[in-house]
Amino acid sequence: MIHLFNQIKWFIGLVLLQVLILNQMHINGYATPFLYIYFILKFHSRVSRNELMVWGFILGLVVDMFSNTPGMNAAAATCLAFFRGPLMRLVTLRDMDEGFRPGVKALGFSSFVRYSLMASALFCSVLLLIDTFSFLHPMVLLLKILTSVLSTMLCILCAESLGRKKV
pLDDT of the chain along its 167 residues, tens only?
Answer: 778 888 899 999 999 999 999 988 888 878 899 999 999 999 988 899 999 999 999 999 999 999 999 999 999 999 999 999 999 989 887 665 577 888 888 888 999 999 999 999 999 999 999 998 877 889 999 999 999 999 999 999 999 988 665 54
Query: What span, in angstroms and rounded, lies between the C-alpha atoms of 125 and 122?
Result: 5
Query: What span, in angstroms and rounded, lies between the C-alpha atoms of 25 and 71?
Result: 20
Q: What pLDDT score was predicted for residue 26? A: 80
What's the distance, Cα to Cα, between the start and end of the chain in Å?
Answer: 14
Q: What angle do CA 98, 99, 100 make, to 5 degrees?
A: 115
Please tell me whether residue 111 adopts helix, strand or coil conformation: helix
Residues 6 or more apart from 80 whose CB is under 8 A from it?
37, 40, 56, 119, 122, 123, 126
Query: What residues pair up with 31 in beta bridges, in sequence order?
Result: 27
Q: What pLDDT score was predicted for residue 51? A: 95
89, 146 Cβ separation under 8 angstroms? no
